[in-house]
Each structure stands twice: as C-alpha cells, then as structure tokens.
C-alpha cells in the first residue's frame, strides 16, 4: 500500500516508529507536513497539493496532529475524507477530543465516569461553580491544553477565582474540576487501536507534582487492568469516534474516571514502557480497514 503520514517533524519518535512499522510490512510511506498541504475543494475532483505537486495514489493516511495545528490539521484530514481516502483519524473526532469540555460532555453523555467539572462564563457565578467541585483544592484546566500544560491546582478559593477571571480576560476557554486526591499523582494511559487495548502504563507524577504526564517528568510502569477498566477505556475511545486513542484515567475506589481521550497519542512512552510494537498494530489496522470507507 501507499501510506501517508501527516507529521510536522519526520524525526519524531512516533513518526519514525510508524514509518519503520509500515516499511517492515512492505508498504511505501510518505510523510507530509500537514501545514504545507494546499487544499482544492470542489465536489467532483477535490485534491491536495504538496509543495506544488498534486498528491496521488495514496490509499491511507495516518495523521499525527500536534495541538498547535489542530484546526488546519482537521481541514487536511477532512480533505482526505473528501477524496475518499481512509484515515485512522477523522476530522470531527479530532476537533471534539481537542476540546476537553466537549470530551467531558460526550463521555458523561455515554455514562462514563468523569471527575465532576463545571464551567462558568460569568464573573458573578465563578464562586458558586468552584463550590460545586470543591472542597479545595480544585483543578483548573484550559480546554485545549496538552502535556499537562494548562492543568493547575488551586489551593484556595480566592486563588481559583482570580485564575479563572484572568483566563476569561484573555479569552481562553477554561473549566473547573474536582481534584481526585486518591489518585496520589498517578494516572493510567490506555492505548486503544480499533477497539482493542494494545498497551497500558501507569504514570506516577514527579515529587511535588500532581500531573502525571511524562513530559512533566513522571515515571511509568506496566500494569494490568481489570476487564471492567479495559471496557471503560474501549468505550471512551469508541464514543469519541477514535480508532487510535490514548485514554487517560484515574483509578479510584468508585472505579476508573476518564480525564481525556487523546486523538494523537504519542508512541514513545507507551512503546518503551510496555515493549509492545504499537506502531505495527496501527499499520495492521490500516491494512484491514482501508477499503471500507
């Protein structure tokens, strides 16, 4: 097959891992920087130009879209959809997953447990919405942060109020969330491909830190999930419409609580921690499904 990978940087671990896995299985691979794709939209022969050349003979695309390129990246993916080319990530699920507020709402609508979250767009009612998720401390999140950046813990109510007000002032979408102290700075990353759990790791935040992102210095280890936990992770990916997903959840006495579903989850942490060749799982998923769009 001819497979295209959308990636801004061919040197990234995730991109390299996918390229190697595809080549090992005798596919021809091209890497396109999505920000350099020009789109021609029309009903009969929509197409993409890359560095001035019309893109031809691609059977499947594997997008790796970073958070700085979400909107244009989604347009490029939608263009591949318009051209009837199979994509492991569709435009709509990408946009939904990149907005943590939509993600929380979709999960909750499908009966998946999430930490109680509140939003207020009104200076007068922020205090009330803090009380809803309290007692203090409470978590404050930017709707579109990643790698733990944009996730804060406010110890006092006054502090939480001023942080939310400051973000409103800069027109940033922000929401409040109940702090799940019993997670003790750990979370679980579940990698799901085509409704199957292909890798699980527990991440423990660095000393003095509650965010367990590897980018924030967390350590990771392999753990075994219960059937019930795996079911929740698979369901979270499914209801978000993601066939390749990184589901982040907290383990609590009430069962797993899903924090977010990542649409372009990194491969480095999960492959090196688990020793699983997850890139090959993605390529095999493409091989089985590229004809059915």
Ligand X SMILES: Nc1ncnc2c1ncn2[C@@H]1O[C@H](COP(=O)(O)OP(=O)(O)O)[C@@H](O)[C@H]1O
Interface residue list for Mg ion (CB under 5 A):
248
Among 79, 212, 220, 274, binds ligand X (CB under 6 A): 212
Nearer to Mg ion, 229 or 248 (CB): 248
Q: What share of the chain is helix, strand, coil (3-state, %, to 5)?
A: 40, 30, 35
Nearer to Mg ion, 190 or 279 (CB): 190
The residue written with tokens 């060749």 in the block is 277
Interface with ligand X, residue 137, by CB under 6 A: no
β-strand partners of 197: 192
SS (H, E, C) 42-63: CCCCCEEEECCEECCCCCEEEE
Number of Cβ atoms within 10 Å of the Cβ of 150: 17
Which does residue 145 bind out of ligand X, Mg ion, none, counting CB within 5 to 8 angstroms by kind? Answer: ligand X
Q: Which does 199 bind (CB under 5 to 8 A by kind): Mg ion, ligand X, none?
A: none
The reply to whether 211 sits near ligand X by the rule CB under 6 A is yes
User: Please, is 173 exposed, middle or buried when counting C-beta atoms within 10 Å of its C-beta (0-12, 13-18, 19+)?
Assistant: middle
Which residue in the set 129, 143, 183, 200 belongs to the binding site for ligand X (CB under 6 A)?
183
Q: Which residues of 104-131 are buried (b: 16+ CB within 10 A; e: fewer)?
A: bebbeeeebbbbbbbbbeeeeebeebbe
Least distance in angstroms from the C-beta of 141 to ligand X: 6
Segment 11 to 50, residues that bind ligand X, using CB under 6 A = none
What is the footprint of ligand X within residues 223-242 (CB under 6 A)?
none
Pairing relationship of beta strands 244-252 and 2-6 according to DSSP bridges: unpaired
Q: Is 210 in the site for ligand X (CB under 6 A)?
A: yes
- Cβ atoms of residues 61 and 86 within 8 Å: yes
Among 147, 158, 184, 288, binds ligand X (CB under 6 A): 147
Examine residue 177 and tell whether it contacts ligand X (CB under 6 A). Answer: yes
| Shorter beta-carbon distance to ligand X: residue 3 or 73 | 73
Distance CA 3, CA 59 (A): 6
Residues at the site binding ligand X, with contacts judged by CB under 6 A: 115, 139, 145-148, 150-151, 177-180, 183, 187, 205, 210-213, 248, 259-260
């Amino acid at each position: 097959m001819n497979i295209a990978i959308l990636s801004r940087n061919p040197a990234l671990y995730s991109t390299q891992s996918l390229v190697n896995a595809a080549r090992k299985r005798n596919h021809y691979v091209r890497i396109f920087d999505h920000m350099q794709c020009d789109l021609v939209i029309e009903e009969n022969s929509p197409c993409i130009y890359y560095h001035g050349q019309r893109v031809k003979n691609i059977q499947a695309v594997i997008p790796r879209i970073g958070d700085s390129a979400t909107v244009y990246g989604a347009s490029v993916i939608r263009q591949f959809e318009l051209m009837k080319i199979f994509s492991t990530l569709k435009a709509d699920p990408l946009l939904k997953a990149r907005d943590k507020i939509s993600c929380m709402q979709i999960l909750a609508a499908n009966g998946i447990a999430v930490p109680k979250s509140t939003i207020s767009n009104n200076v007068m009612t922020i205090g009330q919405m803090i009380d809803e998720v309290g007692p203090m401390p409470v978590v404050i999140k930017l709707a579109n942060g990643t790698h733990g950046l944009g996730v804060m813990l406010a110890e006092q109510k006054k502090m939480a109020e001023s942080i939310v007000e400051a973000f409103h002032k800069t027109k940033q979408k922000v929401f409040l969330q109940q702090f799940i102290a019993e997670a003790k700075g750990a979370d679980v990353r579940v990698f799901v491909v085509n409704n199957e759990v292909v890798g699980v790791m527990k991440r423990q935040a660095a000393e003095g830190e509650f965010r367990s992102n590897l980018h924030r210095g967390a350590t990771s280890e392999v753990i075994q999930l219960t059937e019930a936990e795996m079911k929740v992770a698979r369901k979270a990916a499914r209801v978000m419409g993601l066939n390749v997903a990184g589901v982040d959840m907290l383990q609590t006495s009430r069962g797993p609580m899903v924090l977010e579903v990542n649409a372009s989850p990194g491969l480095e942490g999960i492959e090196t921690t688990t020793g699983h060749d997850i890139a090959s799982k993605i390529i095999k998923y493409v091989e089985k499904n590229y004809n059915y769009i």
